[in-house]
Amino acid sequence: MSENLLKNIKVGFKGNKIAVIGATAIIILTLASIFAFLYPIAPNAISVTDRLTAPSFRHPFGTDDMGRDYFTRCLYGGRASLLVGFMSMILSTLIGVVIGSISGFIGGKIDALLMRLVDALMSLPTFLIMVVMNAYFDPGIKNVVLIIGFLTWMNIARIVRGETISLKEREYVIYSMASGQRKTQIILQHIIPNIMPTIIVSATINIANSILMESALSFFGLGIVPPTASWGSMLSKAQGYIATAPHLAFFPGLLILITVISFNYLGEVARKIFQPK
């Protein structure tokens, strides 16, 4: 299974330059934000003489209103943004897979009930509810992850349910059921490994959306708030300097766009690899 997966991925990337660029961009951004501490200028080093300077050789992204190097601040901001993206994806995928596989495998009334719940949640203005939730929870990385994770699992649940139902009819699953294996074991051993490709596709696109949602919440001053910075909260501050220092607004937004577009494109590539027409 895993060897096969690796081979498929190789074939999918071969000759697809944009996919390679996207994957490289994500890897570079992730490594850069993890190893941001290696950069010689500290993110909190204040310099009164260098306030709001334009990008230069010394400060590739310029400086902010307190004379801090904006490049390092963007790297550290990426930590929060990428972390929220990954963690929310893990949470929502976990919820989606559990609910989807239970719903599809058990069927009957439980399935009907869970799917009506999913329908209802999917027809809600999700982003508005995320905004609203911020009036009830303290801002911070943990709560943003919880809010986004608990409101974005429905799509994954629906897809996993569909795949589970079709797998349930396969001989090996029927055989395991006849031989008296426990249902949880069948789901874990036979169902989930076989729908892994589908899960990967949804999860990749889920990261992209989570990062967008986090950035929008933080832009409103709701998600991630100072002293922690994310690309979204940096943009929130930058909006006030749009006339004097437009570079403050330009770079974090560009980084969000590059990250999100890469994840979206990789999701599409993954779909083509795993679900050839």
Partner 1 sequence: MKKIINRLFQSILTMFIVSVLCFALVKAAPGDPVLTYVEPNMSEQYIANLRESLGLNKPLSIQYFLWLKELLHGNFGHSLMNNRPVLSQILERLPATAILMGSSLILGFILAIFLGLYSAKHKNGIFDKITSALCYIGISIPTFWFGILLIYILSVKQHILPSIGMHSDGVNTIPDLLIHLLMPCAVLTFVNAAQYIQYLRSSTITELSSDYVTVQRAYGMRDSAILFKHVLKNAVLPMITVLGMSIQSLVSGAIITEQVFAWPGIGQLAVTAVTQFDYPLIMGITLFTAFLVVIGNLLADILYTVLDPRIKKANC
List residues near partner 1 by CB under 8 A. Answer: 116-117, 119-129, 131-132, 134-136, 208, 212, 215-216, 219-222, 232, 235, 238-239, 242-243, 246, 249-250, 252-253, 256-257, 260-261, 264-265
Task: For the chain, give the secondary structure using H, E and C.
Answer: CHHHHHHHHHHHHCCCHHHHHHHHHHHHHHHHHHCHHHCCCCCCCCCHHHCCCCCCCCCCCCECCCCCEHHHHHHHHHHHHHHHHHHHHHHHHHHHHHHHHHHHHHCHHHHHHHHHHHHHHHCCCHHHHHHHHCCCCCCCHHHHHHHHHHHCCHHHHHHHHHHHHHHHCCHHHHHHHHCCCCHHHHHHHHHHHHHHHHHHHHHHHHHHHHHHHHHHHHHCCCCCCCCCCCHHHHHHHHHHHCCCCCHHHHHHHHHHHHHHHHHHHHHHHHHHHHCCC
Residues 184, 190: contact at Cβ < 8 Å?
Answer: no
100 or 223: whose CB is closer to partner 1?
223
29 or 208: whose CB is closer to partner 1?
208
201 or 235: whose CB is closer to partner 1?
235
Closest CB 236 distance from partner 1, rounded Å: 9
Closest CB 74 distance from partner 1, rounded Å: 14
40 or 125: whose CB is closer to partner 1?
125
Cis peptide before 226 (omega within 30 of 0): no
105 or 231: whose CB is closer to partner 1?
231
Closest CB 27 distance from partner 1, rounded Å: 18
Closest CB 9 distance from partner 1, rounded Å: 21
| CA–CA gap between residue 69 and residue 90 (Å, rounded) | 32
96 or 232: whose CB is closer to partner 1?
232
94 or 257: whose CB is closer to partner 1?
257
Closest CB 83 distance from partner 1, rounded Å: 17
Closest CB 131 distance from partner 1, rounded Å: 6
Closest CB 55 distance from partner 1, rounded Å: 15
